[in-house]
Structure 1
Amino acid sequence: MTEQASRAENRITVEDVHKSFGDNEVLRGISFEVAQGSATTVIGPSGSGKTTLLRALNALDVPDSGVIQIGDERIDFSKPVGKDQLRRYRAQSGMVFQAHNLFPHKTALENVTEGPLVVQKRPKDEVEAEAVELLSKVGLADKRDQYPYQLSGGQQQRVGIARALALKPKVVLFDEPTSALDPELVGEVLSVIRDLAVEGWTMVIVTHEIQFARQVSDQVLFTDHGVILEKGPPDEVIGDPKEERTRQFLQRILNPL
């Protein structure tokens, strides 16, 4: 089976997920599915639970209850979860963070190879060859020996994408991947994500780039106050939203003046 065919079998199922921080209930019964080889974007106002939802998918923020399944790994978070189970579950997804989170003392190539070498204990020659291919995929083949401080913010974020892909995850999770970038650098990162969507990667993308969400998504989730208020194809949720709250949000984003 080819790698791309294998990826097409991967999906995400989320059932009634709750997460609180102290008295603040951030996720209040979240349920949705991400189809095999599809892109789901999550939009909504600040404080609506978007990032917490994404971190819950990777169990960086462990849910208080609910069930999440990625590929063959399924966890019921209302029951005790063992460390080995959590490790296997987290290995199903690759995360791309807002602020790059690259190792400053490692080159672009070393940042990409770190996970496969240290976590997966894979052979160095094989890992480095794949890392070179991934840097080429994100347009940075000539930057392999440069350190993060020598790269633009957009280039650093593209290294972050290559790093996530190097772990060969079943799904890729993006937490507002362009929010920390200068406007002129946003396009180069969104272009890479578009290419991944065309290739059939299963992705969940938290974004404030509404037009990008409309172009790249198979499904859009609009969150507000810890619930999914509206979900469906982008032409419906963004083009013709049913909920007044969704319409108000999009009006402010798309017509700010």
Structure 2
Amino acid sequence: MTSAPDNRIDARDIRKSFGDNTVLKGISFTVPRGTATTIIGPSGSGKTTLLRSLNALDIPDAGVVRIGDVEADFSGKVPRDQLRDYRAQSGMVFQSHNLFPHKTVLENVTEGPLIVQRRPADQVRAEAVELLGRVGLADKHDQYPSQLSGGQQQRVGIARALALQPKVVLFDEPTSALDPELVGEVLSVIRDLAVEGWTLIIVTHEIQFARQVSDQVLFTDRGVILERGTPAEVIDDPKEERTRQFLERILNPL
């Protein structure tokens, strides 16, 4: 593997099937360092599978992904140590929080850096305290997930992902499991990360949020990227009829 000039993400010809169901049909795109890319599209279009493939939670059947200077070629079997290094480049924020219920907020955030990365405990704790303050949870260190609202749990999930010091943060529909009144607090945290220059890939159904936060929007349908561009190009002035139909249903529901 050779060094890349920056921490951008390059995905080339990503393919994934589950049995006879081909979900990703050769997807390629680039996310420049310090930018936010949102992925929109109908249910079943492959958005979550694409995100999980980038993180190698689902191993692609084929394709090459480079995050910074770490590359994984999924056309063959990726060696275990290389796969571990590759996965360490990204942090994942899930739909349903996926917090450890028996651990406190602070323990959830420090788990990965301590156990997986084996970093010094004092340093990890100090960083976790700072991160929890950044996501508005400075007073929740000793509480358990069951004592938090859904929005607070998701903000813990964001802090947990950032604690791993990833080069890219992946968000899988981070507001889909939240009550409507809690959506704004989570989107506000993500918006702040974009402003701070984190490299973000966000699967979302929040079109107005995608318009506000994105440098690049990808519209996926039936396992391919059908349209890509800036929010002004894809959301405000889509070229493809399928994109226009999708946005009309989302933005102007009956």
TM range (shorter): over 0.9
Segments of structure 2 that go 5 or more residues without pairing to the other structure are: none
What's the % identity of the aligned pairs?
A: 81
Opposite residue 33 of structure 2, the aligned amino acid is: Q
Q: Which whole-Å CA distance do the structure 2 matches of 1:103 and 1:38 have between them?
A: 30
Opposite residue 217 of structure 2, the aligned amino acid is: V
Q: Deviations over 1:173-225 (max 9, x none)?
A: 00000000000000000000000000000010000000000000000000000
Match of 1:134 among 131, 134, 138: 131
Taking the TM superposition and a 5 Å limit, the aligned residue runs for 1:98-117 are 98-117=95-114
Taking the TM superposition and a 5 Å limit, the aligned residue runs for 1:124-203 are 124-203=121-200
8 Å contact from structure 1 (residues 172, 202) kept in 2: yes
Segments of structure 1 that go 5 or more residues without pairing to the other structure are: 1-7
Tell me by how many angstroms 1:9 deviates. 3.3
Opposite residue 134 of structure 2, the aligned amino acid is: K
The SS at the match of 1:160 is: helix
Tell me by how many angstroms 1:247 deviates. 0.2
Q: Alignment RMSD, CA only? A: 0.8
Match of 2:208 among 200, 207, 211: 211
Q: Please name the residue that 2:41 is paired with.
A: 44
The SS at the match of 1:47 is: coil
Q: Deviations over 1:48-74 (max 9, x none)?
A: 000000000000000000111001111
Opposite residue 93 of structure 2, the aligned amino acid is: V
Moved over 6 A (4+): none
2:235 aligned with 1:238: yes
The SS at the match of 2:208 is: helix
Tell me by how many angstroms 1:10 deviates. 1.4
8 Å contact from structure 1 (residues 116, 122) kept in 2: yes
8 Å contact from structure 1 (residues 70, 89) kept in 2: yes
Aligned pairs, number? 250
The SS at the match of 1:63 is: coil
- Give the alignment's TM-score, normalised by structure 1: 0.96
Q: Which whole-Å CA distance do the structure 1 matches of 2:114 and 2:33 have between them?
A: 28
Q: Which whole-Å CA distance do the structure 1 matches of 2:91 and 2:223 have between them?
A: 23
Match of 2:56 among 56, 59, 70: 59
Q: Which whole-Å CA distance do the structure 2 matches of 1:194 and 1:104 have between them?
A: 27
